[in-house]
Amino acid sequence: MKRPLHEAIALAIVLLGSTASPEVREASANDLVRRIVTNELKAQDEDHSHWMYRMEIEDREKREVREVIETQYGELSRLLYVNGRPLSEEEQRKEDKRIQTLASNLGESTVSNSKRAMKIATRQGDC
CA dihedral 50, 111, 92, 51 (to 10 degrees): 0
Specify the pairing of strand 74-82 against strand 85-86: antiparallel
Q: Print pLDDT tens along the chain (127 aa).
A: 455 666 666 666 666 555 556 665 666 878 888 898 998 888 888 888 888 999 999 999 999 999 999 887 788 899 999 999 999 999 999 999 998 988 888 766 655 555 555 555 555 454 4
Provide the 8-state DSSP code for 61: S
Q: How far apart are CA 37 and CA 56, in angstroms?
A: 34
pTM for this structure? 0.51
- What's the Cα-to-Cα distance from 72 to each of 45, 48, 83, 110, rounded to whole Å? 14, 8, 31, 12
Q: Which residues pair with 58 in a beta bridge?
A: 63
Q: How far apart are CA 62 and CA 12, in angstroms?
A: 50
Q: How far apart are CA 30 and CA 108, in angstroms?
A: 51
